[in-house]
Amino acid sequence: MNISQRCRIGLAVGFITLGGLPSSCVDCAPATNTSDNSSPATKPAPARIEKAFISFRIGTPQWLPDSRYGELLALFEKYRGVTDEITFFTSFTHPNLPLAEMKRRCDILAQRIAAAKTLGYRAGINVLSTMGHHEENLPNSLSGDYTPVTDIGGGVCRGSFCPNGLNLQQYVRQIYQYAAAANPDYIWVDDDVRLMGHMPLGLTCFCDHCLAIFAQESGTNYTRASLRTALTAGGPKESTELRKAWLVHNRATIARLLALIEQTVHAAKPGMPLGFMTGDRFFEGYDFDRWAAALAGSSHSPVYWRPGGGFYEDSSPGGLVGKSHDIGRQIAFLPSSVVAIQSEIENFPYQRLKKASYITAVEAAAHMGAGCSGAAFNVLSGNDEPLDEFEPLVARLHQTRAFYDLMARQLGRARPIGLFTAWNKDQAAAGDFINQPGWAMGHLGQGSQILEAGLPAAYHAQGAAVTLLFPQSVAAMSPAEIRQALAGGVYTDVETLNLLNQRGFQELTGMSAEQPHPVDCIEEFTPHPLNGPFAKRQRDCRQSFYRVPGYVGYVLQPHDPKVETLARLVDYGGQELSPCSLAVYENPLGGRICVSGYYPWDHLHSLSKNSHMKAMMRWLSRDRLPAYVASYHKANLWVREPDHGRIAIALLNSSFDAADGLDLTVATSAAEARVFDMQAKEHVIRASSTNGPYRHFMLPAIEPWTMRLVVVGGTESKVK
């Protein structure tokens, strides 16, 4: 039985062992995953990818001067194979270029592209910018009768223009005609095509023209002041529905601009691939499947995607994994026809010592684990200077290229399966995005400590073995979606529990929260099978130091005798403050829920809590976790099933300690695993033991902040 089937119907298991720790498990029942309120997303077909899609994005100082461009090509030729594509930025500053300057540069690019093609590279143009990023270099940038993007208070960004403006649309048509005339192999639309982050503004565009369009869409005329009031001060239901309507408006705004680009380019170059760079686009409505269709056009031309996010230096390497999770979300709704997915690897402002060559190479591999099929390296100098200092970086990426190709072949476009941090396309409408623009997405990083305990990440409800449920999730979900989530496995906190109960789901949660204890609480495990040998072990999160709202010690009150207590709270004198602060419940739908009333999302790194979390997630999932790290290591993993019976696992040692004796536990009947290091060297290891549907594989030592690819089972597991 494959993982996909297991995610649907479960397995009957009588006993599980976690890192040598026994705990009980009852027979599994049919599983129901959470759904999303957006357009249906079919599971991506396992596309056959033979090698990674690798490109380098080149700034104008490296391609405009003849001598610099010659040196660039010489560097790539010295490390032949480090890249297949050379992608040329149109600008090195972020507002739009004047038309005459765009034309001049595209004329030069025609020569640069021809030279790259002669050497066997694919070559394309990255249009920077289409509507503008922010205020920079204004004296040398586009000006004239263009409407600037406008916030709801009437403020403007002079370096970015409203995408609904007719004059801007005519400008866009012209610059993409120039780009197509340079005869590139493909054209990229950069991530300035968005509606927030146009510095110095936040959310846009609320110009008069956009308000007029929204009046036609909604049937109501608003001024900026009256719209602000309606979005923020109306009744909860009315304001939420209006915010959802604004997201629909934003989705259509982006789709119209992309459709204009598609029609312009394909009128000149039928079938030319178009690419789009994104980030987390909640305010824009996250309509990536529709936007991909807009770029493909009626002829269904190839579409490329470049998911991105911020990780520009290596002083906080954990940001690398956070970006991988951001990227995983951005891929979740892309149709299976989008095969070339190149993560944005950006080392801005391109000062070599800010980000090591080693971590740059690891970053690209981690993002491939989360769902990409390649990488776009924006890592070379942004100045008119020799590339000597960047050669070690190119050499490192050249050494790692075989590993990227291996990952692309083995992972394909299969969907990651595991723990789903519940989100959907209407997430931004869950809260007041005008006055608290970050609230509705504030939960997205809260599951990161759970995931780095060695539990697999998922980014779509269809890949959810367990759903991590948050207040923001519940606020954005319909009753049917909530019920569906609660019919599966759910881990959550007290604030979410209260919202679920307020919305009428107490029968399915089985408990409520009573008075909190905001100081001097310690969690103490009870003698429960899911705690293994750690009964009486304590976790002190030091409330006097970490005063995190919602993380105080709560008293959980069971409302069904089937609620089981996993932990209580005691004070520093050993006196009981709460007989139940952590509990599990199997509800009438067959779903399983765990509610934590004490620091549910962090301070999880002790041996006892780490082990408990894995045992509990296995129980919640009814052993539908495809794999996990059973040993006590800090690791991230992404698990896919590219085809029947073959499980491919990208694993990152997320610690500065080497991972010795890492126990990778996989739901498989296969007796062997193939382990590949970052030089694509293979080690074959045999399972050390069996545990219900799982087999344990003790991996060779993994260096700090290093990736491994593990392939188990399947007729295609033997690598070329």
Beta bridge partners of 479: none
- Residue in the block written with tokens 């080149």: 58
Residue 356: per-residue pLDDT: 97
Structural contact between residues 280 and 326, judged by C-beta atoms closer than 8 angstroms = yes
pLDDT for position 643: 85
Amino acid, single-letter form, for residue 130: T
Q: Is 545 exposed, middle or buried (0-12, 13-18, 19+ CB in 10 A)?
A: exposed
Tell me which residue has tokens 């940038």.
141
Q: Which residue in this structure is represented by tokens 């981690």?
A: 366
Taking the C-alpha atoms of residue 279 and residue 330, their distance in angstroms, rounded to an integer, is 7
Q: For the segment 286-341, what is each residue's pLDDT rounded down to a tens digit?
A: 999 999 999 999 999 999 999 999 999 999 999 999 999 999 999 999 999 999 99
User: Which of 134, 206, 127, 220 shows the shortest CA–CA distance to 164?
Assistant: 206
pLDDT computed for residue 26 by the predictor: 26
Instruction: Please answer whether residues 176 and 264 qualify as being in contact, where contact means their C-beta atoms are separated by less than 8 angstroms.
Output: yes
Question: What pLDDT shows up at residue 19?
Answer: 32
What's the sign of the alpha-carbon dihedral 411, 457, 683, 372? positive
Q: ∠ CA(233), CA(196), CA(194), 5° rounding?
A: 130
Q: Specify the pLDDT at position 47.
A: 54
The owner of tokens 């920077």 is 128
Encode pLDDT of 351-379 as tens digits: 999 999 999 999 999 999 999 999 999 99
* Candidate CATH numbers 3.30.1490, 3.10.20, 3.40.50, 3.30.450; the one for domain 438-615: 3.40.50
- DSSP assignment letter at 541: -
Residues 320, 318: Cα–Cα separation, whole Å: 5
Cβ within 8 Å of residue 551, ≥6 positions away: 541, 543, 598, 599, 600, 601, 602
Which strand (E) or helix (H) includes residue 395?
helix 391-411
205 prior amide bond cis, ω within 30: yes
pLDDT of residue 118: 98
Distance of CA 2 to the CA centre of its chain: 25
Q: Which residues make beta-bridge pairs with 517? A: 553
**Sequential DSSP letters for 67-96:** HHHHHHHHHHHHTTTS-SEEEEES-SSSSP
CA of residue 496 relative to chain centroid, distance? 22
Contact 334, 371 (CB under 8 A): no
From the list 591, 324, 598, 309, the residue with the least C-alpha distance to 465 is 591
**CATH for the stretch 53-140+161-197+255-411:** 3.20.20.60
pTM: 0.92
- The residue type at 240: T
- 8 Å CB contact between 333 and 379: no
- Using an 8 Å Cβ cutoff, are 77 and 120 in contact? no
pLDDT along the chain (720 residues), means of 10: 41 29 28 36 58 98 98 98 98 97 98 98 98 96 97 98 98 98 98 97 97 97 97 90 97 98 98 98 97 98 97 96 98 96 97 97 98 98 97 98 98 96 94 92 92 97 96 94 97 97 97 91 97 96 82 90 97 96 98 97 96 98 98 98 92 98 97 98 97 97 98 64
Distance between CA atoms of residues 11 and 377, nearest Å: 43
In angstroms, what CA-CA distances link 83 with 88, 473, 509?
14, 40, 52
Helical segments of 412-478, H only: 448-451, 471-476
d(CA 128, CA 513): 52
Nearest to 424 by CA among 451, 397, 460, 448: 460
Integer Cα distance of 306 and 217 in angstroms? 31
> Exposed, middle or buried: residue 14 (CB in 10 Å: 0-12, 13-18, 19+)?
exposed
The partner residues of 21 in beta bridges, in order of sequence, read 18
Distance CA 308, CA 326 (A): 8
| C-alpha R_g of the chain | 26
Average predicted confidence (pLDDT) for the chain:
92
Contact 33, 671 (CB under 8 A): no
pLDDT at position 20 is 30
Give dist(CA 235, CA 230) in Å, integer.
Answer: 9
Q: Is the link from the previous residue into 129 a cis peptide, with omega within 30 of 0?
A: yes
661: left (phi over 0), alpha (psi -120 to 50) or beta: left
Cα gap 270→267, rounded to integer Å: 6
Helices (H), strands (E): how many in the chain? 18, 32
Q: Containing H/E element for 594?
A: strand 592-596
From 69, 205, 192, select the one nearest 150 (Cα to Cα): 205
**CB within 8 Å of 30: residues ≥ 6 apart:** 8, 9, 10, 590
Name the nearest CA neighbour of 366 among 396, 399, 322, 331. 322
> Which CATH number is 635-712 given?
2.60.40.1180
Quote the CA–CA distance of 646 and 377 in Å, as a whole number. 30
Closest residue by Cα to residue 290 from 37, 478, 38, 36:
38
pLDDT of residue 12: 27
Q: 152: which DSSP letter?
A: T
- Ordered DSSP codes for 196-248: B--TT-SB----HHHHHHHHHHHS----HHHHHHHHHSS-HHHHHHHHHHHHH
User: Which are the contacts of 467, defined by CB distance < 8 A and separation ≥ 6?
Assistant: 33, 34, 419, 420, 422, 461, 485, 488, 489, 490, 491
Task: Identify the CA nearest to 373 among candidates 419, 414, 421, 323.
Answer: 414
Provide the pLDDT for residue 490: 98
Q: From the CB of residue 356, how many other CB atoms can be counted at a distance below 10 Å? A: 18
For the chain, the domains span 53-140+161-197+255-411, 438-615, 635-712
| Cβ atoms within 10 Å, residue 612 | 26
